[in-house]
A = this chain, B = another copy of it.
Amino acid sequence: MTSPFRFQIEARDGRARRGRIFTPRGEIRTPAFMPVGTAATVKAMMPESVAATGADIILGNTYHLMLRPGAERIDRLGGLHRFMNWGKPILTDSGGFQVMSLAELRKLTEEGVRFSSHVDGSRHLLTPESSMEIQRQLGSDIVMAFDECTPYPADERTARQSMELSMRWALRSREAFGDRPGHALFGIQQGSVYPELRAESAEKLTAIGFEGYAIGGLAVGEGQDQMFGVLDYAPGMLPEDRPRYLMGVGKPDDIVGAVERGVDMFDCVLPTRSGRTGQAFTRRGPVNIKNARHAEDPRPLDPDCSCPCCAAYSRAYLHHVFKAGEIIASMLMTWHNLHYYQELMAGLRRAIGEGRLTAYAAAFHAQRAEEDIEPI
């Protein structure tokens, strides 16, 4: 019998892989980009519009949802999929990262993290066990192990202590997760920028055994060179036959470089957040729609884009509605950016399938250098 959750690699090109994750809620084509739906909504998007961009899976934030509206409430209302009207797979993070970046009065111990809610000041304890329970209540398809995202920079001793704590928490997460057919638990590799720590983390995780493996502790301020430096070796330490997920990444060129280095899954707030602040991603680089030079420009954001925003709206219109503070500015720009990201992923998948990823990446970098570049 085939497991209801499994990963199948369909093509390889260098270290890159094209594949498919099968879940009871549908297939996820990899390399995959997961739009972020923090508070049970991908901001400014109807869920059917998110699906129309080509997204097979979205990410939900355990920290936000446990505080508001509460995981038990979502459970009583039939789970997160039903609550937010998204029938395809959902991956939830463990809450660990956001507790450390958003919560107040944090106290980290071997047990877990005690903190105060940034919403109402209420006291909470998040542990591997409670994180697994909350993610179960949410009905998440891909559950992330509870870990500590090692801050950057960290000296080797600090990075080791942090990684070892995360590995003990990974084991507790696995044990607490239990047997949930059709649902997957992903372990998270830590070790900062130290190859021996990354290797040790990978060994410990593999010994425990997970349905997929994330590369954690990157995209935390180390810069693309350092990140690619780690990605030159870290993915290869993880089991070949399981999906590899680079958490919180990233800019389009980060994703292209990470796919070339063997990463299968990504999530990032950049396309959605940038959409709301007037930044668009295009084939020729970023466009800042607030810039006065767009005020009477009849062209779409990207003439090669097939999204509803580029099909019907001029830069002049987007400039106007953005300046006027209209909600449709966020709606259209977010839609365009998510569409851009999904077209990028589709292009990468095609290129891997046809064995021409190197040429695809070169064309990607060359086209962006042509014109229209604005700092984002």
- List chain A positions with a Cβ less than 8 A from chain B: 39-41, 43-46, 68-69, 73, 76-78, 83-85, 295-296, 298, 308, 312-314, 316-317, 319-321, 323-324, 326-328, 330-331
Contacts and interface: CB of A to CB of B under 8 A. Distances in A.
B76 A320 contact: no
B73 A314 contact: no
Copies in the assembly, this chain: 2
B317 A73 contact: no
A39 B321 contact: yes
A322 to B, nearest CB: 11
A316 B77 contact: yes
Contacts of A327: 41, 43-44, 327, 330-331
B298 A41 contact: no
Contacts of A317: 40, 77, 83-85
Contacts of A321: 39-41
Contacts of A312: 85
Contacts of A316: 69, 73, 77, 83
Contacts of A76: 296
B295 A69 contact: yes
B314 A83 contact: yes
A292 to B, nearest CB: 12
B41 A326 contact: yes
A285 B328 CA distance: 28
Nearest to A86: B312
16 contacts: A39-B320, A39-B321, A41-B326, A44-B327, A46-B331, A68-B320, A69-B316, A77-B316, A78-B298, A83-B320, A84-B317, A85-B317, A327-B327, A327-B330, A327-B331, A331-B331
Contacts of A330: 327
A314 B44 contact: no
Given A41-B327, A77-B296, 9 more contacts: A39-B321, A40-B317, A69-B316, A77-B317, A78-B298, A83-B316, A83-B320, A85-B312, A85-B317
A45 B298 CA distance: 22
A40 B69 CA distance: 35
